[in-house]
């Protein structure tokens, strides 16, 4: 009899535990997270066609196929054989592994998964800092229109996911979960092999330690002094994170690349759009200013206290985004949790007793079904790609013997590498570093801007064909010259061949 009661009690306990898990899985905060993932899907589903995505995919495929890491260029005739390293190789391998599943849908699935992961982590971090899931959701929803512009399939998206993981681990460490710091050394080992944003992780870790060396409270700023044991643990973890940085296929060169980028590539940063300052006359810049205005107005009304390291990271994020457009997403990672803290005062707390778990489960299932239903097909994705890239011109090049060095648009280089390389080598692509060091980047800009030396440069590189945008200024000039003949044209691209070359007849 006793045994029967024990079995019944054990079964009841298991049922209660199962019900508790289901309630957590289908809670209202989880439903809010699912809504954010759906919002990210809307922004990401049509963003596969980033110019750099294609050559990252090709490099990752080369590493998977050859099981070696490239040490010299093999994709461009202009810099062929020049020393070059795949400084984001792990991210590229992850991307190429997804692409091997077939078509354009597989890498798009990866993009949506990465965007969803980033948004869920940002939502979790904002909820952790603010103590309220509703405030975290509203803060994430407010920044989503800005963040969506940067949801592209590139290794840097993984880098920002790693940055969020580091921020979450440090916050848990502050709250007494000492073991979370041990996540950081293996995280940095992955990070340094994935993207140069690992330097921001080191900055956050170092700033966290420095700001805990003093304790004070003045005005809206507060600093809490670390206990000696905490301080020592942080130093040990920081040293371990630095010690794993040379563990790459290229030794210390990957760890040094962000410094090389900032010091030795001025032409790159001065001429590529994502390295330009944030333009406040455009919609993205205006929304950015609107978010800052909302933050400071809310701060003025509440006058809360923030940690010194929070304020330092926020100011750094604002500066970085204003100087270089590409760092706007990093700014949002620092900004959103603090905005959630300000909004939390006006948001009601989550009350599990009033939660409607069944309704949440139905809504989450509808969101999941919507993601599957509205996921673009391979045909839809090809149409999206065709609007930005010379898809039909590539088919023409495959079918016709257009030989000799070919000039191409900078933004099309990666796509040509993915579809035609390395058999047909490009003139230039998104790997701006290798082209800047060799002088090819500046020559390319002189050509497309029709500088006085433009045609001398075409002769210098023995250019026999030009695949350029139909509406480009160079296209207009070549159309008027007797030595150049358009053998293919469509709404996106035009292919000119120099008449000294024997080109295949038009269809």
Say yes or no to pLDDT of 234 above 60: yes
Say yes or no to pLDDT of 103 above 70: yes
Say yes or no to pLDDT of 488 above 90: yes
The average confidence (pLDDT) of the chain is 91
Tokens of 315: 């100011």
* 373: three-class secondary structure by DSSP: helix
> How many whole angstroms separate alpha carbon 417 and alpha carbon 410?
12
Q: What is the sign, positive or negative, of the torsion defined by CA atoms of 408, 409, 410, 411?
A: negative
> How many whole angstroms separate alpha carbon 339 and alpha carbon 347?
12
Query: For 350, phi and psi rounded to 5 degrees?
Result: -70, 130
Say yes or no to pLDDT of 503 above 50: no
Which of 27-31, 118-122, 270-274, 342-346 ranks highest by mean pLDDT?
A: 118-122
Per-residue model confidence (pLDDT) at position 22: 64
DSSP track, 13-71: HHHHHHHHHHHHHTSHHHHHHHHHHHHHHHHHTT----HHHHHHHHHHHHHHHHSS---
**pTM confidence score:** 0.93
Tell me the C-alpha to C-alpha distance, in Å, between residue 375 and each of 41, 292, 364, 455, 468: 9, 34, 16, 46, 31
Per-residue model confidence (pLDDT) at position 502: 46
Q: Where are the domains of the chain?
A: 2-48+104-357, 382-498
Q: E strands along 315-419, which residues? A: 406-408
pLDDT in tens, 56-97: 999 999 999 999 999 999 999 999 999 999 999 999 999 999
The answer to whether 385 and 47 are in contact (CB under 8 A) is no
- Mean pLDDT computed over 472-489: 95
> How many whole angstroms separate alpha carbon 253 and alpha carbon 275?
22
pLDDT in tens, 344-382: 999 988 888 888 989 999 999 999 999 999 999 999 999
The answer to whether 289 and 279 are in contact (CB under 8 A) is no
Say yes or no to pLDDT of 463 above 80: yes
Phi-psi domain of 41 (left: phi exceeds 0; alpha: psi -120 through 50; beta: other)? alpha
The answer to whether 129 and 171 are in contact (CB under 8 A) is yes
Closest CA to 503 of 487, 480, 481, 482: 487
Per-residue model confidence (pLDDT) at position 325: 93
Range with the lowest mean pLDDT among 3-17, 42-56, 155-169? 3-17
pLDDT band at 47 (very low <50, low <70, confident <90, very high): confident
Tell me the C-alpha to C-alpha distance, in Å, between residue 353 and each of 20, 50, 219, 346, 390: 12, 46, 38, 21, 57
């Amino acid at each position: 009899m006793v045994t029967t009661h024990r079995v019944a009690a054990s079964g009841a306990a298991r049922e209660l535990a199962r019900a508790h898990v289901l309630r957590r899985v289908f809670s209202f905060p989880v439903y809010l997270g699912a809504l954010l993932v759906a919002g990210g899907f809307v922004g990401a589903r049509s963003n596969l066609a980033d110019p750099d995505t294609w050559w990252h995919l090709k490099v990752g495929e080369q590493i998977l196929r050859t099981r070696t890491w490239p040490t010299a260029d093999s994709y461009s005739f202009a810099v062929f054989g020049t020393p070059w390293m795949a400084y984001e190789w792990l991210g590229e391998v992850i991307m190429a592994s997804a692409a091997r599943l077939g078509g354009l849908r597989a890498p798009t699935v990866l993009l949506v998964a990465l965007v969803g992961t980033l948004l869920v982590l940002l939502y979790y971090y904002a909820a952790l800092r603010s103590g309220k899931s509703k405030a975290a959701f509203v803060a994430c929803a407010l920044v989503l229109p800005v963040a969506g512009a940067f949801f592209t399939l590139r290794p840097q998206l993984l880098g920002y996911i790693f940055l969020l993981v580091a921020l979450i681990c440090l916050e848990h460490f502050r709250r007494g979960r000492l073991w979370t710091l041990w996540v950081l050394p293996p995280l940095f080992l992955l990070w340094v092999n994935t993207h140069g944003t690992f330097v921001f992780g080191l900055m956050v870790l170092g700033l966290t330690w420095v700001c805990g060396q003093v304790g004070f409270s003045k005005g809206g700023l507060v600093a809490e002094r670390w206990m000696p044991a905490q301080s020592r643990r942080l130093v040990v973890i920081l040293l371990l994170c630095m010690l794993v940085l040379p563990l790459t296929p290229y030794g210390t060169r990957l760890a040094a690349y962000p410094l090389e980028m900032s010091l030795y590539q001025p032409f790159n940063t001065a001429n590529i759009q994502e390295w330009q300052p944030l333009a406040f006359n455009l919609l993205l810049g205006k929304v950015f200013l609107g978010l800052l205005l909302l933050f400071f107005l809310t701060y003025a009304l509440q006058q809360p206290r923030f940690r010194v390291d929070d304020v330092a990271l926020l100011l750094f994020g604002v500066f970085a985004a204003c100087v270089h457009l590409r760092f706007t997403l990093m700014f949002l990672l620092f900004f959103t949790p603090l905005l959630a803290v300000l909004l939390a005062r006006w948001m009601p707390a989550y009350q599990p007793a009033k939660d409607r778990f069944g309704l949440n489960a139905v809504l989450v299932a509808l969101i999941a079904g919507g993601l599957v239903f509205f996921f673009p097909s391979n045909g839809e994705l090809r149409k999206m790609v065709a609007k930005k890239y010379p898809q039909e011109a590539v088919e023409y090049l495959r079918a016709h013997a257009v030989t000799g060095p070919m000039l191409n648009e900078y933004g099309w280089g990666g796509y040509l590498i993915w579809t035609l390389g390395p058999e047909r080598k490009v003139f230039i692509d998104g790997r701006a570093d290798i082209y800047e060091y060799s002088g090819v980047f500046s020559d390319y800009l002189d050509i497309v801007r029709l500088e006085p030396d433009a045609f001398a440069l075409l002769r210098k590189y023995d250019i026999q064909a030009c695949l350029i945008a139909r509406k480009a200024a160079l296209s207009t000039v070549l159309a008027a010259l007797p030595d150049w003949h358009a053998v293919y044209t469509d709404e996106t691209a035009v292919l000119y061949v120099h008449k000294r070359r024997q080109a295949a007849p038009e269809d």
